[in-house]
Structure 1
Amino acid sequence: MTIPVIIDCDPGIDDVMALTLAFAHPELDIKLITTEPGNQTQAKTIHNALAFTSYMKQDIEIARGLDAPFFRKLEIAAEVHGDNGLGDVQFPEPTIQLSNRTAIEAMKETLIASEEQIVLIATGPLTNIGALLLAHPEVKSKIKYISYMGGAAVGGNMSPTAEFNVYVDPHAAEIVFQSGIPIVMSGLDVTHKAYVTLEELDRIEAIGSDFAHKVAAMLRFYVHAAKQTAFHSPEFENRIRLHDLCAVSYVLTPELFEGDDCYVAIEIEGKYTAGTTVVDYEQRTGLPHNVKVLHTVHREKFVEQFMDAVKVMSRHIG
């Protein structure tokens, strides 16, 4: 049985890794890919989505979302993902054409037309999904749950308490988290444990395909760039964190993860804490749980799953 999904992303090196895993598993019926800015500007993220999906020989509609957060000035992560968003790697010019539908139109119409509930996989800021829910609240019942890479119960990578994706558009995140739709949050608590080592990266490169070499080049750029950021820690010196991959991996293999059901709120006004996901682990608010907060991953099986995906797609591309 297949799982119908919509993938909302901001490609981005780790978004490309997440798409690789999704493309490699036919049990995911990818109805639509939508983009927003985040890891790079919208012009670059939409180009990367089109070029990478074309390179991977996938026939999937790709629709352009909103170009900026709701109320904040756009911040991008060019220092981590590079000038084109994919490190030093270039993919051939896309053969897929951009959809005539906007992301919001395409998501609404795809959800309404579906006979079964659809899982939303979100690996960037939540601008598009927040806008969808504001404009078309009638689609909520058609969403099974949202598998989201974003947030953190403890610590941050954009401020001491805020993770990048939520920090970029906390107002959209607040709309989504308060929507009543079930959410599985792959925050930094779990994604910092979802890494490949440099030795494992050598094994990926040894697959020998053009795609494997591109994956290795992107990830080597990624780990080097991460070392230059203010939130780099010596414990991650030889670890490449595959943040966005967790959101796809959970949909495929939830048994690889552990988490707790909690109430989670988004801080949108704090001078020092805007974009923080406030996780009520102690249930002190008395509010009902709205998010499953992941904190543990079976790393070895997670890495094996990703390596297998690179092999599968290498054969598919030929």
Structure 2
Amino acid sequence: MERLLEIKDLYVEYQTDDARVFAVNGINLKVGKGETLGLVGETGAGKTTTALSIMRLLPEKVGKIKGGTIILNGKDVTAATEADMRLLRGETVSMIFQDPMTSLNPVLTVGDQIAEVLDLHKKYRNKEEVESRVDEILKMVGLPPERKNDYPHQFSGGMKQRIVIAIALACEPLLLLADEPTTALDVTIQAQVLALMDELKQNLNTAMILITHDLGVVAKSCDRVAIMYAGEIIETGTVEQIFSGDHHHPYTVGLFESIPDLKKKTRRLHPIDGLMPDPTDLPEGCKFHTRCPQCMDICKNKIPSPMEKEGHVICCHLYNETTD
């Protein structure tokens, strides 16, 4: 599969007057053209920061890429100028932000907001061509074109999410970053939005990074999965390897044990004990060792090396051949 995105040793920090937050700590990721990667982890793991780094939309003067490279379609995003990024955003990479309620401009019609993307990136000869394309895009996401003159407050939550997806896909980008696109929606609308995204992905051959907490969504929509914890990728593999494999990182095991199993009768779920470490004061060694039920002495002071088998990578001393 031809590679579209490659992230190498990415480090991202947020620096304020009060603290220095180590948000992303040396992650490596690869996404092929037309592939869907699920990025999974607890709140605060660094998933959204990773997506914002790809878009170069980190908070100005606060968020900084401290090291590593992001190669997107052959271009190094970390070295690109802001003018270069304006050309890349929308046309090469687009993002569906977490909350559709706050992602739309309340004083512009939805048609104008879609047309703005087209005006910036595509050279249409006249306004009629732009309007025609806006109508096509609205039909593509299942909305009647007649509603292009309505304002965001006139739409339901599910419709707003469709409009956000329409804006993101207007220029048919090569890579779509979907940051928890179904979190604010009820279950029925969630299924519709996921089906819509999958259909559009197939039609346009768009690659996607799907950021989510929902492992059910990952199983249904993704080709590969990356498990993120405290700013690090601790396990990656195909959906089959993550969901059906014999060996997993203890954190991955904990995530699956937190899900209700309809085939087993139990009084309580088994959540992971403790909390994610403070990103301003991360522990030495394996970042998960403070919560890990299989913690060993080596875990407290040595960062585990990644061990790979048939594309399934686990960063844990339990599977490290050099562990004493």
Q: Give your verdict on TM over 0.5.
A: no
TM-score normalised by length of structure 2: 0.29
TM-score normalised by length of structure 1: 0.29
- Greater share of residues in strand: 2
